[in-house]
Structure 1
Amino acid sequence: MKIKLVEFAKLTSTNDYLKENYESLPSFTLVRTDFQTSGRGQFDRKWVSSKGKNLLFSLLLKDVPFDQITHIKEWVKSSLFASFGKLGLDAYFKEPNDFYTNEKKLCGILIETKNNEERFEYIIIGVGVNVNQILFRDFKATSILKETKKQVDVRKVLSIIVNNLLENYFG
């Protein structure tokens, strides 16, 4: 398996970009941006992120059998757990789609799908990881920097996560 990386300085949302362009992109396309103008989480909750401070990406999977969705969710969760461990974080998963450390949100996941009668045409896995952001408006959140007291390169965090996704891939 190979991941195709597409990067932007700014997008409305990495999930929206993949939803709008999935037909022309191969499976395992990963879209990353420095800033999202309309980032969101589950139930259309707004995901606010300081420009260039956090990891914002979405991964496109195409033509996936229905019975694989549980495996995909577990694959993403276990890959993120391993990544946070490598970064020195003791994170835990809080249903339905968030990672926390020290009772504060570190990472959110948004999975969106489109299906036909036979299978998922696409599964888009959006991930937002608070990396170097320090201030969070009216929200109990944290970042890798706040927890470890070390600034981390956002691309290094992406590399760790992508490597874990590739190592843990079940297909």
Structure 2
Amino acid sequence: MYFDTIDSTNAYLKKYWKKLPSETIVWASKQTGGYGRMKRKWISQRGGLWFSVLFKPKNRPMNPWHYVRLYTMSIKYVLSKYRLETVIKWPNDLLVNNKKICGILGEGIYTGNIVSAIIVGIGLNVNNIIPDDLKNIATSYVEEKNKELNLKKLLKQINSTAYYKYYLKYFKKDKISIFTKLWIKNLNIRHGDFIKVISQSIEKRGKIVSIHGDYLEIDFDGKIEKIYAGEVSVRKERI
């Protein structure tokens, strides 16, 4: 489903998810109310690829974070075919030279305690020029490669990769842990790295003990704590 302008592709699917079939894609040239994790505003001007995907599968894992990983891996793979190498920033971003090029948001729709649907929202900077006040933290394909991509073709490539390369193969009870391990291998952090953990106005520095799908175990001056993906931002410290 294509819109020239919409408030938010995620918000649209959250409103109409019951009526729409699984794997419905909503794509817009411009979002006026785009948002990311922790409800941070996401600037969505023309030239970027802004879309959301609805999942209502039967007999598939229904953890929203699995679907975030599905798209970080798929977009990383597709961009590599356009000779742009990215790294995955735990838990939901793609970076080029430490600048964000893509953010991904997974949201669960609950019926009681049961997840009835999952919506994955993707914001990928492609042909859009990054505002001057964000150039030190964000980038786009056109700014990295000095050429534009066909957005409709790119959208199809990303979703085909997600579905055929990863979803059908790994999104099974006995295979999803294999996919999570594959995703961990593509992260920009490793065991033993020092990171800064930002939660609201609090910042702490620690050392990674172990990396899991939904959380990190961090050594804060001898005290081991679990840091969950939905609660904090994590930045790798430069030594």
Fold in common (TM above 0.5): yes
CA separation of 1:58/1:11 partners in 2, compared to 1, >3 Å: closer, same or farther? same
CA-CA distance at 1:95 after TM superposition: 1.6
Match of 2:144 in 1: 147
Q: 1:85 corresponds to which letter in structure 2? A: S
Residue identity over aligned pairs, in percent, reads: 36
Structure 1 gap segments, 5+ residues each? 1-5
Aligned pair count reads 165
Match of 1:108 in 2: 103
CA-CA distance at 1:115 after TM superposition: 1.9
Match of 2:56 in 1: 62
CA separation of 1:45/1:73 partners in 2, compared to 1, >3 Å: closer, same or farther? closer
Q: What RMSD in Å do the two structures reach over aligned CA positions? A: 1.9
Q: Bigger relative contact order, structure 1 or 2, given CA contacts below 8 A and separation 6+?
A: 1
* Residues 28 and 59 in structure 1, CA contact (< 8 A), matched pair in contact too: yes
Structure with the largest fraction of helix: 1
Judge which range, 86-95 or 133-142, deviates more.
133-142
Judge which range, 24-33 or 138-147, deviates more.
138-147
Match of 1:20 in 2: 15
* Residues 18 and 60 in structure 1, CA contact (< 8 A), matched pair in contact too: yes
Match of 2:93 in 1: 98
Deviations 1:120-162 (CA, angstroms, capped at 9, x unpaired): 1110000010001123252211111111111112112112202
* Residues 62 and 122 in structure 1, CA contact (< 8 A), matched pair in contact too: yes
Judge which range, 104-113 or 79-88, deviates more.
79-88
* Residues 66 and 120 in structure 1, CA contact (< 8 A), matched pair in contact too: no
Judge which range, 58-67 or 127-136, deviates more.
58-67
CA distance, structure 2, for counterparts of residue 155 and residue 100 of structure 1: 22
Q: How does 1:103-142 map to 2 (within 5 A)?
A: 103-117=98-112, 119-139=114-134, 140-142=137-139
Deviations 1:90-110 (CA, angstroms, capped at 9, x unpaired): 101112211010111100001
Judge which range, 139-148 or 60-69, deviates more.
60-69
- Secondary structure, counterpart of 2:133 in structure 1: coil
Structure with the largest fraction of strand: 2
Structure 2 gap segments, 5+ residues each? 172-239
- Whether 1:159 and 2:156 are equivalent positions in the alignment is yes
Instruction: Select which of 22, 26, 33 maps to 1:31.
Output: 26
CA distance, structure 2, for counterparts of residue 129 and residue 64 of structure 1: 29
CA separation of 1:137/1:47 partners in 2, compared to 1, >3 Å: closer, same or farther? farther
CA distance, structure 2, for counterparts of residue 151 and residue 50 of structure 1: 15
Q: 1:61 corresponds to which letter in structure 2? A: F
Larger Rg: 2
